[in-house]
Structure 1
């Protein structure tokens, strides 16, 4: 009869409640930073004073122009616009670094030259970036075999 081992597997992972509390703390800190940035950028703008003129109301109901005339709304718009620009710059950087990431993924010997050509493409001319893309995505083993085959055929005189 086999004896089953009753060894207890211990892991060093924190309990679930601690993970949930950490996640809630991160969310609350991020939300407070966003609200603080909205308030800060809102207070840096001055919108035509605080009194609401009668043209802000249509038949006694407020129109959208009153919302546009508030500092907090301008702060929200500024933070959203700034976030979109930062995200777009991040995506452009990821696109720019696609050659380096592909070269690292393939564990290529050309990783450093691909990185250098990517930087040259960023600061000098885009032609260098295109060259880095070609180097990163090329199958150098296939290219090497084809060149060796061409040289062998030329030396031996085989014609196809």
Structure 2
């Protein structure tokens, strides 16, 4: 009985691995297809000089880079990649900016709203507010409160 369960589990695991591999490969194919399609669509929006290649595009009988730069499809590809890199960089900057808020939410801190407000002030007013939000979000306030409480307690009791 356990041998049958083990065989079924192994077959299920193999199917799961094949399914994940197929899913990954289809995702990569779809991404490259979308990139190619976007490049082609942006190339339709341009009209550069014409289609005949002048003799200045060649050096010693070999084509130079100017021919590639004159291609509408290549320039559409460059545009799509440039816009993608700019969007990805802006996304990374936003994630960096929101690191304090995510840390406060992950710790289920009572300071989540003030960290969010300080983070927005840091975005629009001054970066000092963002630094203060980072300090509040990553500070161990329970440890600080216990330590301050023990200092005050020791000060009131006094060592006589």
The total of aligned residue pairs comes to: 154
1:49-128 → structure 2 map (5 Å cutoff): 49-128=50-129
Q: Deviations over 1:7-54 (max 9, x none)?
A: 837778764333333223222221111101111122222222211111
What RMSD, in angstroms, separates the aligned Cα atoms of the two structures?
2.5
Alignment match, 2:41:
40
Between Structure 1 and Structure 2, the one with more helix by share is 2
Distance 1:46 1:35 in 2: 18
Q: State TM-score, norm by structure 1.
A: 0.80
Checking the alignment, whether the CA contact within 8 Å between 2:57 and 2:66 is kept in structure 1 is yes
Q: Does 1:8 align with 2:16?
A: no
Which runs of 5 or more structure 1 residues have no equivalent in the other structure?
A: none
Q: Give unpaired runs (5+ residues) of structure 2.
A: none
Q: Which residue of 1 aligns with 2:132?
A: 131
Equivalent-residue separation in structure 1 for 2:69 and 2:104 (angstroms): 49
Please tell me whether the aligned partners of residues 35 and 77 of structure 2 are also in contact (alpha carbons under 8 angstroms).
no
- 1:111: Cα distance to partner? 2.3
> 1:154 Cα shift?
4.8
- Show the 5 A alignment for 1:138-157: 138-156=139-157
Q: Does 1:23 align with 2:24?
A: yes
Shift of 1:79: 1.5
TM-score by length of 2: 0.80
